[in-house]
Chains A and B, each alone.
Chain A
């Protein structure tokens, strides 16, 4: 276990190095933060002054060392837009994204288990066909459009929910629903298909022959055998959400999370804030994934991870 943990930490460390380098290359070599931050009308003198202030006039290698140092110490300098440390903004908006993820993906995880299992009980049955149809449609709808249609229906026509922003629980309903939809569809389909496979296995026949009840077969016998693929996808959905895929939902509903802030950083020409968000999120994803691997090893002792 210790060896495995060290191995995963080493892998995670490499990913972090790669991300930091990639971000550096994209922002400093492919793009130019000076151009991004200053308006086109800025004079050369203004540009030079800005570059001097932010250390962008130094040799590129020196810049890289400074950059890595910043990343390691989680000090990314000030946001140009809000004139305060980028990290302060990051810590401020991170909980908002986590709330959204927890409500949306968490809800999808719970709901998908039940929908998928009950659909798998009778493949081709009425419930199964209804679930698969809804899942297929759910995967085909563009998220931003679903969000706008929800706003139109619940906020404009019915006037029961607030259109956007963050406040009480009512503000969470539509963003969470919108975020949940594709995840719910993917998770349900996974639960359904792996459950159908599992219910055809010999040990389920054994359980039937033993006279076990249907609920015992579903939830006691089969469920634990689909847990690893299911939790893998759950972890992937959460990672996917963290990796910026809440941007769309947060933008539609002006939900002040990481994605919304990243979009603001782009629109307000704030390359430093954007960098800070990208790198910190990668750190979180790496740590999260190591945690998941440990969890899987605990669930299924047969898993051998080198």
Chain B
């Protein structure tokens, strides 16, 4: 491969770049579906009062554990059925997304902000600051993560604020590591040295010159962490240590339905499915985004596609013969 050089290969023209990207996204059906699903989930959560057919907390003793509409005994009033208190599952799933997405966003912001600051500091200052910060990062990685979270929540008492703080404390290190490594790489560049010689203040150099280089890796990391936090929040809520009733969350709904799994699977299935679809969609789209923003990965993806097409053509030819 290295032996051939492609001279005069144009890079994509700036004009209509956005449309070209959209066209490229359309080529990847899975990523497109992911993006659409993410948009649907986010919009449904934001406009939950408008979208949800029922009040998620409204109980209906007569319509307890009604199955989804396509099953016998189900009705279109409760499209996805009702839980053990007769609450509408579809509405609960729509409202449940609010808690999950909000908590995940808050944790990513807090942990990401804190981790980025410390990573910038460690990478830019170097020396003693760097070694102290990185020691803390290393030490925290060696701690028994979830058990400590359990310990803290049991000591402080569960709740949404506790959850956000605890998850942020448990997850900021990765941002610090990534940011530090990027900063260390960028620091050596000539233009940073030039800025230093020109007498730019450290703060200015950090925010104006170094931060832009962090946007792409931080975005990718934040999206990945977002899905991790959704799963972590769901797990803690499932264990009864996260979101507390009467508030709703997908994890909590699965927990409250688990005792009825023998008679009403839908109470457990749909909130869990909502988590799975959300996380999967985000991952699919993020994956595509990561590859697309990396020219080398992009070329590899193209080559793989080409090789696959050629192979399929050859196989088709062989089976036809």
Contacts and interface: CB of A to CB of B under 8 A. Distances in A.
Contact between A and B in the complex (any CB pair below 8 Å): yes
Interface of A: 14-15, 18-19, 22-23, 26-27, 30-32, 36, 123-125, 136-137, 139-145, 148-149, 151-152, 156, 240, 242-245, 247-248, 251-252, 262-263, 266-267, 271, 274-275, 277-278, 281-282, 285-286, 289
A140 B148 contact: no
Given A31-B155, A125-B311, A274-B151, A19 B276 contact: no
Q: Top 5 closest A-B pairs, CB basis?
A: A31-B155, A145-B272, A124-B304, A244-B146, A244-B147
Nearest to B136: A18
Given A148-B258, A247-B150, A285 B142 contact: yes
Contacts of B265: 152, 156
A31 B154 contact: yes
6 contacts: A139-B283, A142-B238, A266-B154, A266-B241, A271-B155, A289-B142
A142 B154 contact: no
B200 to A, nearest CB: 35
B195 interface: no
Interface string B64-88: 0000000000000000000000000
Contacts of B311: 125
Contacts of B283: 136, 139-140
Chain B interface mostly: helix
Nearest to B152: A26
A227 to B, nearest CB: 22
Contact of B147 (A27, A32, A124, A262): A262
Given A31-B156, A136-B284, A142 B145 contact: no
Contacts, number: 146
A123 B304 contact: yes
A22 B280 CA distance: 36
Contact of B239 (A18, A23, A124, A248): A248
A145 B238 CA distance: 9
Contacts of B239: 247-248, 251, 263
Interface in B284-321: 284, 287, 304-305, 307-308, 311
Given A27-B151, A145-B276, A274-B151, 20 more contacts: A23-B148, A27-B155, A30-B155, A32-B155, A124-B305, A137-B280, A142-B235, A143-B231, A144-B251, A145-B275, A148-B268, A243-B146, A243-B147, A244-B144, A244-B149, A262-B147, A277-B147, A278-B148, A285-B144, A289-B142
B285 to A, nearest CB: 12
A15 B276 CA distance: 36
A244 B154 CA distance: 15
Contacts of A145: 254, 268, 272-273, 275-276
Nearest to B300: A123
Interface string B250-264: 010011001001100
B279 interface: yes
B234 A262 contact: no
B155 A22 contact: no
B22 to A, nearest CB: 23
Of residues B145, B152, B155, which shows the largest number of chain A Cβ atoms within 10 Å of its Cβ?
B155
A31 B166 CA distance: 14
A142 B155 CA distance: 26
A233 B234 CA distance: 24
A263 B154 CA distance: 10
Contact of B261 (A156, A244, A262): A156
Interface in B119-172: 139, 142-156
B292 to A, nearest CB: 17
B45 to A, nearest CB: 18
Given A14-B139, A141-B276, A142-B275, A244 B145 contact: yes
Nearest to B269: A149
Contacts of B305: 124
A275 B231 CA distance: 26
